Amino acid sequence: MSQFVKELISKMTFTEKIGQMTQLSGDFFASDNSAITGPLQQANLATTDLYQVGSILGVSGVDEVKKIQENYLQHSRLKIPLLFMADVVHGYRTIFPIPLALAASFDPQLVSQTSEIFSREAAAGGVHVTFAPMVDLVRDPRWGRVMEANGEDPFLNSELAKASVEGIQGQQKIPDADHVAACVKHFAGYGAVEAGREYNTVDISEWRLRDQYLSGYQAAIEAGVPLVMTAFNTFQGKPATGNYHLMRDILRRELGFKGPLISDWDAIGEMIAHGTASDLQDAAQQALKAGVDIDMMSMAYLKLARRVHPSSELVDLVNQAVERILNFKESLGLFTDPNRGLHSENEKQIFSTHNLEIAQQAAVESTVLLKNKNNLLPLSKDCRLGLVGKFADNPDLLGSWSWQGKMAETQTIKSALQENFTKVSYIQNQQLQAVDLQLLKQQDVIVACLGLSAQQSGEATSMTHPQIPDQQLALLRKLQQLNKPIITVLITGRPLVLNPIIKNSDGLLLLWFPGSRGAAALAQILLGEKEPGGRLPMTFPKDLGQIPLYYNNFRTGRPLVGDKSDLENKYLSKYIDQENQPAFCFGYGLGYAKTALSESKLDKKTYQSIDSIKVSVKIENHSDISAKQVIQVYCHQIVGETVRPQWELKAFQKVKLQPKEIRKVEIDLPLNRLAYVHSDLKRRLDPGNYCLRVGFDSQSGLRQSFKII
Ligand code: NOJ
């Protein structure tokens, strides 16, 4: 603790300390300086409470931020600047593809670059902290928040968690005034909500939490994330926000997190609804003991401030929390410049041409080509396109959590295709009358833009049927009768059950929510100016009843391997009415160029646990066009102390190849990545026999064996 912070704390009253530990939304801070705003009255707060509050969420914009900060500093006794926090998740004003789409890029450098851009834009808009990245491991597409996540694989999740934090903070441990600080969320395990239902119970074993769910948060902490947010869910029967074991033992002691811990919105107060706290005072005490420093919006900590004689334990806990908060404020330079980052020079880069170019590149790298029958794609510029579907002329391409992004400045697919193709016939009518069908019949190819709207993914959008609505399927069926090649472009924030779509489409492009420049990226992809660069970060199931379905499930005692004798055997881990296979597996995605792997080799047969394996493989581009591929390395442990997944991703590398290029690629695989959590809850690496597979997805590849001694 600096001398400055020490002296400041010594001057603070107990109430002022609690104020620093409270966060309110922007509605409380009326910009016209009026004494009592509606929300204050509703929450039974006085203006004096307001001028002691430590942070504010959901406000940005140079003028607004300056006004609130100046007014606050005029009124507050000790003049401790307010911290401004907000959800800048995949873009501030320039919107990048949603995080799940960016995960499909399998490109940590790109994720770092897009994060840095939105961080700069947000800092210029007066934000100090973004509530990102969200690194909850996700396996259930019924949960709407999968769109904010990095998918189902712990290794990919960790690599991207690290890249996001480094990007947001501008590769600095303490972000300078041109960047915001990151806040990783939601600690811990929120992605495992039962039945994919939002805010529901999480009941996974501590073994599983440690083996698969913790690594994303850990990677963010190791990358220097200065803040952590708690989760809404329970862990082992206790709400995470009041869970001493989770926060003190695991987060602080084991993972070594030293910064401020903030609750999710009203998560302290919600302990009453959970039935684990009797009232706000009780909830506040539990959260404080568990180590939560900032109460977002439940006003529970303010209740503690009203205590006439706080216990010495309470005083100690409050002092520790305040120290963490003020240290953080000091590290950001807020005491020297409460208007940090708010320079007109910085503002100019918001929504700049450069930022939009990167958004377009990111959309190209995130788009996944799922089907390309008879190499229908790419198309020629003068091919006659018939364009239909809900998303054909619709700026709803930004996705949830795109706060400052504006649909009004988002180009639609129709406009981008009209700019790039000579003949585009757009049919607005979704019912397709005879005259529409007549017009479509005269086209060479039909492009159907289908999907779910931004309102159908993100927080509070759990869904029992993650699939394309019937009305849109009916449209596709009508199109099918025209006997024309159909390319379906999918807009979605989550994996969908795509059965009728796969059958009725010749080309299938998964655009996700591609952001500000998604439509232009699609035009480039359709024309073959760019190869779609995405590979699935989540499995796409064949059937609703298979959910949750993910590639890295644990081995069972009666596995279905898939050969003939298996299919006849009733007593295996399978369904009687559906296959175990997904529609599209993790890691899957096609390119336009034809590529192949051969000659995979390991540098040795036997390794020590501290070694790295050098995996080498030859990749060949057989085509006359340049190629993009994601080389994926999966490992399999023959015998473990606990069960292990059949295959687990342990390394990947995205490569770009010239036409006809042949290249030898070397991938480093440090063996400590193969360590896993044993039944004593400790992570370690086992000696023994292993297999490794190098391929282009999670289901196939070239196999090698090796041994760790
Ligand atoms: C609730 C969400 O769960 C969290 O992710 C978000 O950061 C906060 N609201 C603040 O908006």
* pLDDT at residue 345 in the model: 77
* pLDDT at residue 344 in the model: 74
Residue nearest to atom 4 of ligand 1 (CA): 264
Distance 251 CA to ligand 1 centre (A): 20
Rounded distance between C-alpha atoms, residue 494 and residue 139, angstroms: 10
The DSSP bridge pattern shows strands 688-695 and 627-637 to be antiparallel
Q: Which atom of ligand 1 is closest in space to residue 134's alpha carbon?
A: 5
pLDDT digits (tens, 9 = 90+) for 454-485: 999 999 999 999 999 999 999 999 999 999 99
* pLDDT at residue 538 in the model: 98
Is residue 265 in contact with ligand 1, taking CB distance under 6 Å?
yes
* pLDDT at residue 465 in the model: 98
Cα–chain-centroid distance for residue 57?
Answer: 20
Contact 99, 150 (CB under 8 A): yes
Element (H, E) at 489: strand 486-491
- Ligand 1 pocket mutation pick from 145, 183, 229 by most atoms within 8 angstroms of CB: 229
pTM above 0.85, yes or no: yes
Is residue 148 in contact with ligand 1, taking CB distance under 6 Å?
no
Is residue 403 in contact with ligand 1, taking CB distance under 6 Å?
no
Distance 443 CA to ligand 1 centre (A): 46
Neighbours of 171 (CB within 10 A): 14
Give per-residue burial for 366-387: e unless 16+ CB within 10 Å, then b: bbbbbbbeeeebbbeeebebbb
Residue with tokens 């060479």, as numbered in its chain: 444
Element (H, E) at 275: none
* pLDDT at residue 561 in the model: 83
* pLDDT at residue 50 in the model: 87
The number of C-alpha atoms within 13 Å of 83 and in the hemisphere containing its C-beta is 29
Q: Which domains does the chain have, with CATH numbers?
A: 3-347 (3.20.20.300), 375-527 (3.40.50.1700), 544-708 (2.60.40.10)
Contact 88, 180 (CB under 8 A): yes
Q: Which atom of ligand 1 is closest in space to residue 186's alpha carbon?
A: 5
pLDDT digits (tens, 9 = 90+) for 342-390: 877 788 899 999 999 999 999 999 999 999 999 999 999 999 999 999 9
Is residue 87 in contact with ligand 1, taking CB distance under 6 Å?
yes
Which residues share a beta bridge with 446? Answer: 386, 486
* pLDDT at residue 37 in the model: 64
* pLDDT at residue 562 in the model: 73
Residue nearest to atom 7 of ligand 1 (CA): 131
Rounded distance between C-alpha atoms, residue 607 and residue 454, angstroms: 49
Which residues share a beta bridge with 598? Answer: 618
Low-confidence ranges of the chain (pLDDT < 50): 34-35
Residue nearest to atom 11 of ligand 1 (CA): 87
* pLDDT at residue 42 in the model: 78
264 is catalytic: yes
Distance 649 CA to ligand 1 centre (A): 30
User: Helix, strand or coil for residue 652?
Assistant: strand
* pLDDT at residue 47 in the model: 82
Distance 324 CA to ligand 1 centre (A): 21
Structure tokens at 181: 């600080």
Q: Which of the following is catalytic: 87, 136, 264, 293?
A: 264
Rounded distance between C-alpha atoms, residue 246 and residue 500, angstroms: 44
* pLDDT at residue 640 in the model: 98
Rounded distance between C-alpha atoms, residue 669 and residue 675, angstroms: 12
Neighbours of 38 (CB within 10 A): 10
Is residue 459 in contact with ligand 1, taking CB distance under 6 Å?
yes
Is residue 131 in contact with ligand 1, taking CB distance under 6 Å?
yes
The number of C-alpha atoms within 13 Å of 7 and in the hemisphere containing its C-beta is 5
Distance 230 CA to ligand 1 centre (A): 10
Rounded distance between C-alpha atoms, residue 103 and residue 110, angstroms: 10
Is residue 187 in contact with ligand 1, taking CB distance under 6 Å?
no
Distance 263 CA to ligand 1 centre (A): 9
Rounded distance between C-alpha atoms, residue 232 and residue 93, angstroms: 28
Residue 104 identity (one-letter amino acid): A
* pLDDT at residue 46 in the model: 83
